[in-house]
A and B are shown apart, each in its own frame.
Chain A
Amino acid sequence: MSVLVYVENAGGKFKKSTFEVVSYAAAVSKQLNTDLIAISIGNVEQSDLSNIGNYGAKKILNVSNDQLKTFVNQAYASIIAEAAKKESASVVILSNSFTGKGLSPRVAVKLGAGLVDAAVELPKIENNVFTVKRTAFSGKAFATVELTSAIKVIALNPNSYQINESNDVAVVENFAPELNDSDFGTMVSEIVRASDKIALPDAELVVSAGRGMKGPENWAMIEELAKTLGAATACSKPISDAGWRPHEEHVGQTGIAVSPNLYIAIGISGAIQHLAGVSSSKTIVVINKDPEAPFFKVADYGIVGDAFDVVPKLIDAVKAYKAHS
């Protein structure tokens, strides 16, 4: 028996959500009194591979192959399922990242396993009943799901589990599963990454703005505040619908759901659909000129004021704080 965790990389580097998922999987392997084994696919440096031991993996299977340098959904799913069989894994854990969302369902079907995605807590294992809590109704509720299958697959939401570090190294073992031509149905022709920006789904700090900003020409101060804080930028739906900001920034029930440590909402009223996607943020700051704006009801800190006056002052205050810390 073992627990297997898939360690996703972006351009050959592991991401924060990868360390979260390994930390989570390590805790699950403790619950089950078994070892944690990781699997990496693509070209990742040896030192980064063995570093996965820091987060609790004993061993890491390394599938390094030029054909697999970029993501190939079917081939990756086959390899992870192969590894699960080879290591007799009873639980397979992945990140519920954009890539993980394409991968975990295929892995589950291959293994005849039940899948809980959007998981936000460690499983509860009592009297052989294995349940996992996940988000539902776009953040308006949680559902507890029992996994009744012998093999279980869990996809963990980013930003929902604390990273735990130690000083261990993982043994790197090369793994060369047989590849099937029919698994190469998709081919990546190009990857575009905005290198100067923090990706919203992974962000710990988010500065978000809405219609109160009046027009796209006023986003410079939003970007400056985000940059000063080291935050990602986001927006409400009408903003991306109007083309003021790209769709990737749209948060809410019909956009992406985020749960950063800090969410600053500027000139956003706090409609139910917007709140659905952001209300699991740890700390919420609302800046709005209308004291009756519904967003204040879910805020931790609120300022009633004009964004055009408050935001520049806030940028200066953050700069002053950064200069001292």
Chain B
Amino acid sequence: MKILVCISNVPDTTAKISFSGDNTQFNTTGVQYILNPYDEIALARAIELTENGKGTVTVIHVGDINSEPTIRKALAIGADDAVRVNSAPRDAYFVSSQIAHYAKEKGFDLILTGRESIDYNGSQIAAMLGELLNIPSISIVKKIDIDGSKANVVREIEGGKEILNVSLPFVASCAEGVAEPKIPNMRGIMSARTKTLDVIEAVSVDELVKFTSYSVPAPRGSVTMLLDNEVEKLVNLLHTEAKVI
């Protein structure tokens, strides 16, 4: 089985989010980048599904050379090889188009992504890829079991879950539950250095959206502190002042 895992390089979860250039650009000064946490889950499942010679895992990333440590990390965790499309990841449609272009005739049985990236929080890539490749896509998946050419997939819905049957190939965006993230071991880290990382150039894609500016949420008002026996007062304030109950 051949699996493709799409990975993104995102600011560390503790990074201070600020913008420069008149709020038109994310300020990357001092920001550490990590492998997107949901992509780690997707990668872990791909490795489990191909263990013991059952297949191979390729990771693909659209981004510039600065993302290579994150790609190497994915190789250290256990991906077999990697591809980097050498271009800034302009928007979800651009990224999906690059990945679809690469994947088109490669015969992948399964394509996995994280449920969303923790920077732009777009959860668009999986479904766009499915559409561009004309194969099924299932978003926000909690479980993937493969049996021959068929799969049993659990997807999250509001207040519950949906269990689906689908034939390979398909695309799934992975959330918690699909697998536990894997930590690279020493052997993985050593071998990652010599695994193949192909760099390919981007194809041109129509620009349909443009990120024009950013802002940060307005600071919240001050807190009203109450004593631990003032619960009636709290209930009263929630009713009369906050008007939420």
Contacts and interface: CB of A to CB of B under 8 A. Distances in A.
B206 to A, nearest CB: 8
A300 B224 contact: yes
Given A285-B234, A317-B231, A98 B157 contact: yes
Secondary structure at chain B's binding surface: helix, strand, loop or mixed? mixed
Interface residues of B, number: 84
Given A109-B128, A285-B238, A301-B224, A199 B163 contact: no
Interface stretch (B52-60, B73-81, B133-141, B184-192): B133-141
B164 interface: yes
B163 A189 contact: yes
B95 to A, nearest CB: 11
Counting chain B CB atoms within 10 Å of each CB, the highest count among A117, A187, A254 belongs to: A254
Interface string A168-198: 0000000000000010011111111110011
Interface in B157-180: 157-167, 170, 175-177
A299 interface: yes
Contacts of B121: 118, 135-138, 257
Given A98-B140, A136-B119, A313-B229, A141 B215 contact: yes
B115 to A, nearest CB: 8
Interface of A: 10, 15, 70-71, 73-74, 77, 97-99, 101-106, 108-110, 112-118, 131, 135-149, 182, 185-194, 197-202, 204-205, 229, 240, 247-248, 250, 253-255, 257, 261-262, 272-273, 276, 279-280, 282-286, 296-306, 309-310, 313-314, 316-318, 320-321, 325
Interface string B110-124: 000000001111111
Contacts of B119: 136-138
A304 B228 CA distance: 6
B43 to A, nearest CB: 15
A276 B217 CA distance: 11
Contacts of B92: 105, 115
A323 B143 CA distance: 43
Contact of B166 (A98, A185, A194, A200): A185
Nearest to A151: B208
A48 B120 CA distance: 36
16 contacts: A97-B158, A102-B127, A115-B92, A115-B124, A138-B121, A143-B213, A148-B207, A149-B209, A185-B166, A191-B157, A192-B161, A199-B160, A261-B244, A284-B220, A302-B224, A313-B231
Given A137-B17, A205-B245, A102 B138 contact: yes
A108 B206 CA distance: 13
A273 B13 contact: yes
Counting chain B CB atoms within 10 Å of each CB, the highest count among A105, A305, A314 belongs to: A105
Given A74-B137, A105-B131, A285-B238, 5 more contacts: A105-B128, A138-B121, A186-B164, A303-B228, A321-B236
A241 to B, nearest CB: 9
Given A199-B159, A202-B159, A248-B156, A320 B232 contact: yes
**Among all A-B residue pairs, the 9 with the closest Cβ atoms:** A199-B159, A305-B228, A114-B208, A185-B136, A102-B139, A193-B160, A105-B127, A109-B131, A199-B158
